[in-house]
Amino acid sequence: MADRYLHVTGTSAGRFLTRRLGLPQPVALHRWSAERPCLDGTLLHLTAGRSTRTEELAAVLAHTGLPAGGGPVAAVVLDATGVADPAGLAEVHAALHPVVRQVATGGRIVALGTTPSMTDHHQAAVQQALEGFVRSLGKEAGKGITVNLVRVEDGAGAAAAESTLRFLLSPKSAYVSGQVVTVTAADPGAVADWDRPLAGHTALVTGAARGIGASVAETLARDGAHVVCLDVPQAGEDLERTAARVGGAALALDITAADAADRIAAEVPDGLDVLVHNAGITRDRRLANMPADRWAAVITVNLSSVLDTTDALLKGGTLRRGGRIVATASIAGLAGNNGQTNYAASKAGVVGLVRSLAPRAYAEHEVTVNAVAPGFIETKMTAAVPFLIREAGRRMNSLAQGGLPVDVAETTAWLAHPASAPVNGETVRVCGQSLLGA
């Protein structure tokens, strides 16, 4: 269902009226397309504190497609990795205060920090302060501008953050704001083709027949992957259409079946490079009115199947070394939601799985494990939500609008990228910086 309010605020009369009434003023977001693959404007590279990464970071930023120099400012990158005391925070203010108003509509602000120290509480305090700063700036920037923080661990060079910076400084991250992403010192490796980084790779997407899953399949295929699209047999016609559209294969399978992992392994005898756990269901009802079967169905599909198939595909070697696992969580799992104790529990469980498995999966298999946590995404399911609740869901974020399935898909593709090995154990919200949750 179209967001008519967003359309109205794009007119001069709508802007005047909403400004006078103090109503939200969302702007149409620039999302990636082959015709407009980059943001429109230039890049400012600023520094606060004493950075040791200035030249290396400049070389990485040169790969983003954003030119340095004059003209409209599409993006600002502030290197605050060297900020270690409150005086350094004054430099953060001094660097950004004069330029915030110059950032163009739909622009990007990315701060680079480092992990808070466990031995230097002064450094830890100011590096943690950057998180509060970034989240607050994201809520006041307006104009469709996103603001994020990338923490670069000690020992990690700027090259480890390249896939993350390319994503956050591009139209692909239009609905990702207020996020904190940690980049480790893992080797990102070399990428032969940044336009088709998954060429020669095989990906499996569950729940791929429609909605977010279909968009994920399309985006991974755009990036070069051969995509196996999995969904329940009841969704067979939609599943076949999705697979045909992406030039992939359809696998009609109930992911909760006892032999699900065996059938997946048989479908990809040469192995998997990317495993996307997107399948999920809701059976909403308040706990006092929720029978056991509604509880069990959601936990089984949304959590148990993820645990079981992940374990089996890792143990059996179907998921190749250097592979990627991306699971779909939800902001409901982070903040809770009325009438969704089962769903919120299952999605919070996905976050716990990611946090626990990520270091071991990488140590044993060189496989990264991350999650995306969508907020209000415009799908057939949200289109059926009552009008007032739907409008509240759309507006209660810093961008004052709902996201699109492609926003989740682009974030998934970034986490699935061969150069994203340094991003591991993260849960990234795709919610326009929702006002709900952390």
Count up the domains in the chain and report the number.
Answer: 2
Confidence band of 9 (pLDDT split at 50, 70, 90) = confident
Tokens representing 338 are 């009325």
- Which pLDDT score is estimated for 8? 85
Whole-angstrom Cα distance, residue 365 to residue 20? 57
Which residues are annotated as catalytic? 343
User: pLDDT confidence of 335, banded at 50, 70, 90?
Assistant: very high
pLDDT band, very low/low/confident/very high, at 52 (cuts 50, 70, 90): confident
CATH number at residue 136: 3.40.50.720
Residues 119 and 215 in one domain: no
Give me the mean pLDDT over the 393-399 stretch: 93
Instruction: Name residue, tokens 């994020």.
Output: 148
Please indicate, yes or no, whether residues 215 and 159 belong to a single structural domain of this protein.
Answer: no
Residue 438, pLDDT > 70, answer: no
Same-domain status, 425 and 362: yes
Span 394-402, average pLDDT: 94
Do the beta carbons of residue 400 and residue 434 sit within 8 Å? Answer: no
10 Å Cβ neighbour count for 338? 9
Instruction: Give residue 280's pLDDT band: very low, low, confident or very high (50, 70, 90).
Output: very high
Size (the chain), residues: 438
Q: What is the mean pLDDT of residues 321-350?
A: 96
Shared domain check, 299 and 156: no
Q: What is the mean pLDDT of residues 323-348?
A: 96
176 in any annotated domain: yes
pLDDT of residue 14: 87
Q: What is the pLDDT of residues 16-45, one digit of tens each?
A: 888 888 888 899 999 999 999 999 999 999
| 26 in any annotated domain | no
- The answer to whether residue 283 scores a pLDDT higher than 90 is yes
DSSP structural state of residue 403:
B
Q: Which of 183, 210, 245 lies at the terminal end of a domain, its last residue?
A: 183
Compute CA distances 151 → 117, 173, 423, whole Å: 12, 17, 10
**123-166 pLDDT per residue, tens:** 999 999 999 999 999 999 999 999 999 999 999 999 999 999 99
Query: In terms of domains, do 363 and 400 share one?
Result: yes
Whose tokens are 């969508």? That residue is 374
209-266: pLDDT as tens digits: 999 999 999 999 999 999 999 999 999 999 999 999 999 999 999 999 999 999 999 9
Range(s) of the domain holding residue 284: 202-430
In a domain, 328, yes or no: yes
- pLDDT of 383 over the 80 cut: no
What pLDDT does 389 receive? 82
Section 344-357 average pLDDT = 98
Residues 296, 362: one domain? yes
Q: For Cα atoms 10, 13, 100, give the angle at the middle one, nearest 5 degrees.
A: 55
With beta carbons less than 8 A apart as the criterion, state whether 156 and 183 touch. yes
- Domain identity same for 164 and 236: no
In a domain, 2, yes or no: no
DSSP string, 27-81: -------SS--S-SSEEEEEEEE--S-HHHHHHHHGGGSPPBSSSSEEEEEEEEE
Question: What pLDDT score was predicted for residue 259?
Answer: 97
Helices (H) and strands (E) in the chain, counts: 16, 12
Q: How confident is the model at residue 437 (pLDDT cuts 50, 70, 90)?
A: low
Q: Can you give the pTM of this predicted structure?
A: 0.96
The verdict on residue 287 lying in a domain is: yes
What is the radius of gyration, based on Cα positions, of the chain? 21
